[in-house]
Structure 1
């Protein structure tokens, strides 16, 4: 099955491949959000464990799929070899830091009074703020997938179709709980199942677009690939530390969330080593 996927993605252009991969990761978010039609009130321990799983996948993907290839493909020795990755990593974190400060958004389980970002004259609805918060998560994920496909187009040995697909699969797996994490709080707040689903899946619509942008950027400017991979890694790490980890440590299920984090890291590491 995986070999057939590789053969298919090798037969299309990298930009189309990035788009298809982005649509796949979005579809997993939609499936997670659609669980609102199946379950009335999911177990809070399960939700916290799945959110921890999300963080573990993102951390593992940041190193195994992004930072390690970025360092390996950089020329030079010692500090010269790692410098592009260090610069890209810092720029990725700063990019998400800027978005976090500018874009109005609300973390899960927080009151509207805790809204972050630029204050608007007319207060935004809590649903919109929640969707924007998850959308922030998804921008670096889409970029990461697209950048890897762009590296394949550029003929970089460290960037492979198998590696890009593995990253897409890992991101898709952690998108399941993200869709669920948006749709269920909205449902509990009184929103209809259909609207809860629509808001939940819409948080990942940015991923196909970000994937295409990442592939195009690397295709036009091949030398930026190490910087771009590290950029995506820095953005993902920022999201995990600034948003995912604090969310998992609230309430009474921090141990379960931590174990979920470990499980997510192990799953992504095994996927990357075995398939990538």
Structure 2
């Protein structure tokens, strides 16, 4: 099958799982903090494992014949984090429903821009590297010897697993904040719509320009790690003194699940 088409279908899957997570708002009005911490920790572990096994390690293997095999990995990884850092500063958004808007919004604008839109903007921004990652993985099949369709599918599965709690973590707090169930669901699922678009772009890039593949893979990894360290882990540790080690256990479980999927099945 055409790698670009496969990347698009993979994006539809991850978007669909995000929508399934957001649909939890029809059954629950709130998530117990301990459960939410566990879910966010699980998502963190999935993304960390995917960043290494599915992105950084293949990037290093692609660069091993170059004079400085570490250079594409380090440069791409750094630029991935820098991209998210810049976007985080420039694009108006909030990270959580209770936060004040960030990104240079004036006091007047704070009264006119809905927090729910800004929250979805933040999640959508952070979904871009996820779509890029498996898009690049599909695009490299056939052009890179060690790249396989099975490996790309495993990456889609891993990202889909972490998208479920992410969708719920958007829609349910919006419901608690006073939005209707339908509106909360629509905002929650909308956060995943960017993944098919980013996946197609990544596949087109990877299949047409092989020389930049190590940089592209590392870029996606750097962006994903930035999201985990900047957003998911701190949020999962909220009130950790009250709820024990739920977030840490979730992170360990997520890493183990993704590692098993990638090594045993990929």
Class of the TM-score when normalised by the shorter of the 2 chains: over 0.9
After superposition, the Cα gap between the structure-2 partners of 1:126 and 1:254, relative to the gap in structure 1 and judged at 3 Å, is farther
Contact 2:28 2:172 in 1 (8 A): no
User: Does 1:46 pair with 2:35?
Assistant: yes
Normalised to the residue count of structure 2, the TM-score between the two structures is: 0.94
Q: Which of these residues, 178, 194, 204, is aligned with residue 182 of structure 2? A: 194
Q: Which residue matches 2:74? A: 86
Q: Which residue matches 1:152? A: 141
Instruction: State the Cα distance separating 1:108 from its structure 2 match.
Output: 2.1
Q: Cα deviations across residues 131-156 of structure 1 (Å, max 9, x unaligned)?
A: 01111221100000100111014x20
Contact 1:70 1:230 in 2 (8 A): yes
Q: Which residue matches 2:191? A: 203
Q: Cα deviations across residues 77-113 of structure 1 (Å, max 9, x unaligned)?
A: 6x7111111111111111111111111111125332x
User: Does 1:262 pair with 2:252?
Assistant: yes
Q: Which residue matches 2:264? A: 274
Q: Which residue matches 1:3? A: none
Instruction: State the Cα distance separating 1:254 from its structure 2 match.
Output: 5.6
Which 5+ residue runs of structure 1 have no aligned equivalent? 1-11
Q: Cα deviations across residues 53-93 of structure 1 (Å, max 9, x unaligned)?
A: 0111000000000000100111436x711111111111111
Normalised to the residue count of structure 1, the TM-score between the two structures is: 0.91
Following TM superposition, the consecutive aligned residue runs of length 4 or more in structure 1 with deviations greater than 3 angstroms are none
Structure 1 CA distance for aligned equivalents of residues 174 and 184 of structure 2:
6
Structure 1 CA distance for aligned equivalents of residues 98 and 11 of structure 2:
29
User: Does 1:174 pair with 2:148?
Assistant: no
Which shifted more, 253-262 or 202-211? 253-262
After superposition, the Cα gap between the structure-2 partners of 1:126 and 1:109, relative to the gap in structure 1 and judged at 3 Å, is closer
Q: Cα deviations across residues 234-262 of structure 1 (Å, max 9, x unaligned)?
A: 00001111111111111133611111011
Structure 1 CA distance for aligned equivalents of residues 50 and 244 of structure 2:
22
User: Does 1:64 pair with 2:64?
Assistant: no
Which 5+ residue runs of structure 2 have no aligned equivalent? none
Structure 1 CA distance for aligned equivalents of residues 31 and 235 of structure 2:
17
